[in-house]
Amino acid sequence: MITLCCSSPMVPGVTLTEKAELLRNWGYEAIAVFQPLQAWNAEVHTELLSLESQTGIRPVEFVLTDDIYGHAMSDDLELRRRCRDMYREAAAVCAELGAVTEIEYEYGPQNPLPLFDAFQQPDESQKTEFMDFYRELLAVVEDTDGRILLEPLNRYESRYLNRVVDNLEIIDAVAHPNGGLLPDTFHMSLEETDLAESLRLAAERVVHVHLGDSNRLLPGSGHLDWAAIFGALSDIGYDGWVNLECSTEGDPAQTLPATAAFLRRLIAA
């Protein structure tokens, strides 16, 4: 059955435990932890590993965040090394937790904006190098329940691999049991002709889902067809987590419980 998750930056509280307890009270079963690298230490690591037993809320996604994020393919070799080291550490944590983390070819505002040159494709050398790095991270979680997923980003935040189909090509070529796709409905709203059909195309390769409406606010705040999206997830037999990764727009003590109720109606339908 599809179950509900929310990203840690959207939830008030100083500690992960405080955030998890609020989510439990607001109707969620899991948390996606987006942990600032500068605040990552042994104490937080221990808290994370005991979070489910202490609160009942399962950490199902783990990402280390920093300005170096999104530069795994950078031409700046030192920046690339630091970014990849951070990704490796996140992958190791996911191996411990049985959680997912995601990577992209690159992440960050594009300059100049690609207004007239959408859907650029990496050349064969770039594609091979990216797949080699993907395989390297997958080796970290091999023989565990951890997963390393590809997330398609919109053209304004990445030059390459913007569409579901572009990422499926990489996933299928690598063909690793710990790989898979992480579709994000906000990014998809900018790049996919039909979100529901793109999800059906991805089928069993969908492992985790990020939710955000067309305006990157909570589901129901924009113009996405949420009944069609959840219908497609049902059609492909998806029974994983759907994680809010967007803005709460208002008091989360009001908006997050209301969104949980809205999502449960969609799941039930």
Domains of the chain: 3-107+122-268 (3.20.20.150)
By annotation, the residues acting in catalysis are 151, 245
Q: Under 8 Å CB-to-CB from 143, ≥6 apart: which residues?
A: none
Residue among 202, 219, 223, 200 at smallest CA distance from 266 = 219
| Per-residue model confidence (pLDDT) at position 116 | 79
At residue 243 the predicted structure's pLDDT band, cuts being 50, 70 and 90, is very high
Residue given tokens 């049991």 in the structure block: 177
| Share of residues in the chain with pLDDT > 70 (%) | 100
Supply the Cα-derived Rg of the chain in whole angstroms. 18
Contact 45, 97 (CB under 8 A): no
Distance of alpha carbon 195 from alpha carbon 235, whole angstroms: 13
Q: What is the mean pLDDT of residues 46-70?
A: 98
Is the preceding omega at residue 112 within 30 degrees of 0, hence cis? yes
Higher pLDDT, residue 116 or 197: 197
H or E stretch including 87? helix 77-97
**Range in 112-116, 137-141, 174-178, 232-236 the model is least confident about:** 112-116
Distance of alpha carbon 89 from alpha carbon 84, whole angstroms: 9
Distance of alpha carbon 32 from alpha carbon 10, whole angstroms: 10
User: Does 189 have pLDDT greater than 90?
Assistant: yes
Q: Is 104 exposed, middle or buried (0-12, 13-18, 19+ CB in 10 A)?
A: buried
| Share of residues in the chain with pLDDT > 90 (%) | 94
At residue 218 the predicted structure's pLDDT band, cuts being 50, 70 and 90, is very high
| Per-residue model confidence (pLDDT) at position 115 | 82
Model pLDDT for residues 79-109, shown as the tens digit of each residue:
999 999 999 999 999 999 999 999 999 999 8
User: Does 185 have pLDDT greater than 90?
Assistant: yes
Model pLDDT for residues 109-130, shown as the tens digit of each residue:
888 888 878 889 999 999 999 9
